[in-house]
């Protein structure tokens, strides 16, 4: 899309109407209208999601998959209905490929322990990148300790970009798995996912993509991306906490042993032998987060009612506006300047520690994230202990970014 | 709650110009404090004259609250015995978490009372004190503490 087409698209986006669907956006914080710029940590929920969860809790709650009574059947239909929505949302091939988990972290641990652990031998390699969230580092380190495999880390450059050719050059005969973020939570960098997935596939390397920061900002199509596993969390996608999705290619999931044992993941149990349930239930031991899955389904319905093309153009315009407005502030350095970025800005302000900045902005009703963003190797790379991060959703406005910029300037005065 | 009550002039001054900042060689005891929430790191070195803290210095990076608190602490405990320093820690801890009944007699340390209204920041102010407690307890060894 060229610039004028983009401008036309976002001009047609009715941000006030969208804001009206999110009850929390009309509240006050310390006497100021809430300015919520911490969407990368967790997005807010539209009334439709709240209502879907409320309706389930009031009218349909029962355990699923195991009752012949009306409530159990209704709850089962709602829970499985949410799975069907995810099949379409991700363009998966079947509902066997959608596993409900607690979130991205659990999805990655599931793949590490159930897919990778049984096949890894000492000296095998797991390849990740330098910009990963701790959730896409630590499970692999634990796996290395368990198996004697080696963790190989592909570098980033000074802009926070990952170069596909550098990653490809690290794919060797012992590389068993490539795991990487679709979008960096600390920098906003969008990774070349299709190319990386294709390069891995050509070498017989299985891929896992941490999509936690991507799904709220772009369409993710499993067939187009061509990865083997894709993980994300519901609460960053305007849904509830405690629910997330692991997409896996059916042929791989089929071969994997269950991760956790318990109810719902079995067909028959005797003390001699237990027969495991079919996909996807094999990986959903115990009573799942039923209301969470229903809420996530409602969030997807909500998203699909939006003009997503206009919403994404609006987000892109917010990113450009924020980059300009913050870039003008003396002493402020933007960390992460990749050419392809999702709608977030990480930054450091000379003389103002991010933690102090977070407290000062909060007094103005402005919520941002401060800290290492669970990406300590990224902080180490840019030689900062922490950054401040403003991360946007399509319900944010240009005025909110102006408020942010003005408040940062005031904080600088306080510490000058 | 006013920000000025958190970032009082004393705090801003000690953040801008931390006292007793830098290495201490030789030292009799030391400890390292880490606040994983914000990435603050603090290295504390102590030299004793019998049971008295003859000299104390700190290094590291942190937010204004943590830097100012460490600076104020080093000024307050210099010349104190271990027991007196630990007693001061208890009083500062009550100041940070309960009420102002201890403020009198705490001198400049009383400037930290504004932190009490910001529960997320209490750890920033107490990191140096936890680090001091472990340094005093370490009897020469260099130990690490974390506020998490």
Active site residue A227: no
Chain B closest CA to A31's CA: distance in Å? 11
Tokens of A262: 């318990």
Find the catalytic residue in A35, A144, A227, A374.
A374
| % of chain A exceeding 70 in pLDDT | 97
The answer to whether the CB atoms of A386 and B120 lie below 8 A apart is no
Pick from B8, B14, B63 the residue to mutate for testing the A interface (most A CBs within 10 Å): B63
Between CA A131 and CA A128 the distance in angstroms is 9
pLDDT in tens, A177-199: 999 999 999 999 999 999 999 99
The answer to whether residue A386 neighbours chain B at the CB level (below 8 Å) is yes
Residue A161 backbone phi and psi in degrees, to 5: -100, 150
Smallest CA-to-CA distance from B68 within B34, B116, B110 is with B110
pLDDT in tens, B104-145: 889 999 999 999 999 889 999 999 999 999 999 876 556 677
The answer to whether the CB atoms of B38 and A386 lie below 8 A apart is yes
Between CA B115 and CA B95 the distance in angstroms is 9
At residue A4, the pLDDT reads 53
Name the average pLDDT for chain A: 95
Pick from B2, B8, B17, B38 the residue to mutate for testing the A interface (most A CBs within 10 Å): B38
What residue in B sits closest to A413 (Cα-Cα)? B12
The answer to whether the CB atoms of B64 and A353 lie below 8 A apart is yes
Check residues A112 and B119 and name the one with the higher pLDDT.
Answer: A112
Which residues from A are below 8 Å from B16, CB to CB?
415
Long-range contacts of A44-47 (CB under 8 A, 24+ apart): A44/A238, A44/A393, A44/A395, A45/A238, A45/A239, A45/A240, A45/A295, A45/A299, A46/A21, A46/A22, A46/A238, A46/A299, A46/A302, A47/A21, A47/A22, A47/A23
User: Of A132-136, A164-168, B140-144, which gets the smallest average pLDDT?
Assistant: B140-144
Does the pLDDT value for residue A305 go beyond 80?
yes
Q: Please tell me which of the candidates B1, B3, B63 has its beta carbon nearest to residue A353.
A: B63
Does the pLDDT value for residue A7 go beyond 60?
no
Q: What is the ipTM of this complex?
A: 0.87
Residues 92-131 of B with CB under 8 A from A: 118, 120-121, 124
What residue in A sits closest to B63 (Cα-Cα)? A353
Does the pLDDT value for residue A1 go beyond 50?
no
Q: Let me know if domain A3-33+307-415 sits in CATH 3.40.1190.20.
A: no
Q: Let me know if domain A50-304 sits in CATH 3.40.50.720.
A: no
At residue A84, the pLDDT reads 98
Burial of A377 (0-12, 13-18, 19+ CB in 10 A): middle
What residue in A sits closest to B61 (Cα-Cα)? A385
Domains of chain B with CATH codes: 3-146 (3.90.1010.10)
Q: pTM value? A: 0.93
Cβ-based neighbour number of residue A176 at 10 Å: 18
Domain residues of chain A, as ranges?
Answer: 3-33+307-415, 50-304
SS3 A401: helix
Got the DSSP string for chain B? Answer: --HHHHS-HHHHHHHHS-TTBS--SS-SEEEEEEETTTTEEEEEEEEEETTEEEEEEEEEE--HHHHHHHHHHHHHHTT-BHHHHHHHHHHHHHHHHT-GGGTTT-GGGGGGGGGGG-GGGHHHHHHHHHHHHHHHHHTT-EEEEE--
Q: Please tell me which of the candidates A353, A376, A414 has its beta carbon nearest to residue B62.
A: A353
Does the pLDDT value for residue A6 go beyond 60?
no
């Amino acid at each position: 899309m060229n610039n004028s087409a983009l401008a036309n698209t976002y001009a047609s986006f009715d941000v006030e109407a969208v804001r009206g669907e999110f009850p929390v956006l009309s509240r006050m914080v310390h006497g100021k209208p809430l300015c919520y710029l911490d969407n990368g940590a967790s997005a807010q929920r539209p009334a439709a999601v709240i209502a879907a969860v409320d309706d389930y809790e009031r009218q349909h709650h029962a355990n699923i998959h195991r009752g012949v009574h009306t409530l159990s059947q209704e709850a089962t239909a709602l829970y499985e209905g949410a799975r069907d929505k995810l099949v379409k949302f991700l363009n998966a091939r079947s509902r066997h490929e959608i596993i409900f988990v607690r979130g991205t972290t659990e999805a990655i641990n599931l793949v590490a322990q159930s897919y990778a652990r049984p096949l890894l031998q000492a000296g095998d390699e797991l390849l990740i990148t330098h910009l990963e969230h701790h959730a896409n580092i630590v499970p692999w380190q634990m796996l290395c300790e368990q198996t004697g495999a080696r963790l190989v880390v592909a570098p980033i450059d000074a802009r926070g970009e990952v170069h596909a050719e550098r990653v490809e050059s690290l794919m060797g005969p012992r590389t068993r798995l490539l795991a990487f973020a679709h979008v960096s939570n600390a920098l906003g960098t969008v990774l070349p996912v299709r190319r990386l997935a294709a390069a891995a596939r050509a070498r017989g390397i299985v891929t896992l993509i941490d999509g936690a920061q991507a799904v709220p900002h772009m369409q993710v199509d499993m067939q187009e991306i061509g990865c083997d596993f894709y993980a994300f969390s519901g609460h960053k996608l305007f849904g509830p906490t405690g629910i997330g999705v692991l997409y896996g290619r059916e042929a791989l999931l089929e071969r994997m042993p269950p991760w956790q044992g318990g109810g719902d993941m079995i067909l028959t149990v005797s003390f001699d032998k237990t027969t495991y349930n079919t996909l996807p239930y094999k990986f959903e031991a115990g009573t799942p987060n039923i209301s969470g899955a229903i809420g996530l389904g409602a969030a997807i319905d909500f998203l699909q009612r939006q003009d997503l093309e206009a919403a994404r153009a609006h987000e892109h315009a917010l990113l450009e506006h924020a980059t300009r407005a913050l870039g003008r502030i003396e002493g402020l350095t933007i960390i992460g300047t990749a050419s392809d970025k999702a709608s977030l800005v990480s930054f450091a302000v000379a003389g103002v520690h991010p933690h102090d900045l977070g407290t000062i902005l909060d007094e103005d009703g402005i919520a941002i994230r401060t800290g290492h963003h669970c990406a300590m190797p990224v902080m180490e790379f840019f030689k900062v202990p922490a950054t401040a991060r403003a991360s946007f959703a399509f319900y944010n406005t240009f005025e909110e970014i102006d408020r942010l910029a003005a408040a940062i300037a005031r904080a600088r005065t306080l510490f000058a | 709650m006013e920000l000025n009550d958190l970032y009082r002039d004393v705090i801003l001054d000690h953040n801008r110009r931390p006292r007793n900042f830098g290495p201490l060689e030789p030292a009799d005891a030391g400890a390292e404090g880490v606040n994983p929430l914000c990435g603050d790191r603090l290295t504390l070195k102590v030299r004793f004259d019998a049971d008295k803290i003859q000299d104390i210095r700190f290094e590291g990076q942190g937010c204004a609250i943590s830097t100012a608190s460490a600076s104020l602490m080093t000024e307050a405990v210099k010349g104190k015995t271990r027991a007196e320093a630990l007693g001061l820690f208890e009083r500062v801890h009550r100041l940070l978490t309960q009420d102002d009944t201890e403020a009198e007699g705490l001198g400049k340390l009383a400037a930290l009372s504004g932190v009490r209204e910001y529960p997320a920041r209490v750890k920033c102010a107490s990191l140096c004190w936890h680090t001091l407690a472990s340094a005093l307890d370490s009897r020469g060894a260099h130990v690490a503490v974390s506020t998490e």
